Amino acid sequence: MERETRVSVFESEKPSEIQLIKSKLDAENISNFLNDKYMSFTTTPTASTMKLMVNLQDEQKAFKVIDAYLQKSDLDLKDNLQN
């Protein structure tokens, strides 16, 4: 049985932001996994950063979905600032 390699495609401290991106990936049938036990040398044990992971073969597709969302939300933010 071949082991799947998972890679991080999105990180946030905001659960609502993670859930939104997760739903976008689900809508595109991209299997994703939440890793909320994130620790590194630069974080404290109480850090609440969560990582959204996908299988390596879905990485590029996931980044396209995330990038499209971020560009749209950035445009929405700019529109709201101009009004």
Question: Cβ distance 69 to 21 under 8 Å?
Answer: yes
Q: CA-CA distance, 81 to 83, in Å (whole number)?
A: 6
- At 19, is the pLDDT very low, low, confident or very high (cuts 50, 70, 90)? very high
Per-residue pLDDT, 1: 53
Question: Cβ distance 50 to 11 under 8 Å?
Answer: yes
pTM across the whole model: 0.75
What confidence tens digit (pLDDT) does each residue in 35-72 have?
Answer: 876 555 555 555 578 899 999 999 999 999 999 988 88
Q: CA-CA distance, 71 to 77, in Å (whole number)?
A: 10
- At 14, is the pLDDT very low, low, confident or very high (cuts 50, 70, 90)? confident
